[in-house]
Amino acid sequence: AVAFCKKFVSLHEEMSPIIMKHMRESLASRVPLYRPVWWFEPTTPRGFEIND
Q: What is the mean pLDDT of each run of 10 residues along the chain (52 residues)?
A: 96 97 97 87 82 70
Give the integer Cα–Cα distance in Å for 43 and 20: 32
Domain of 41 in residue numbering reads as 2-49
- pLDDT score of 35: 87
Give the integer Cα–Cα distance in Å for 22 and 6: 25
Beta carbons within 8 Å of 48's beta carbon, 6+ residues apart: 38
Query: How many structural domains is the chain composed of?
Result: 1
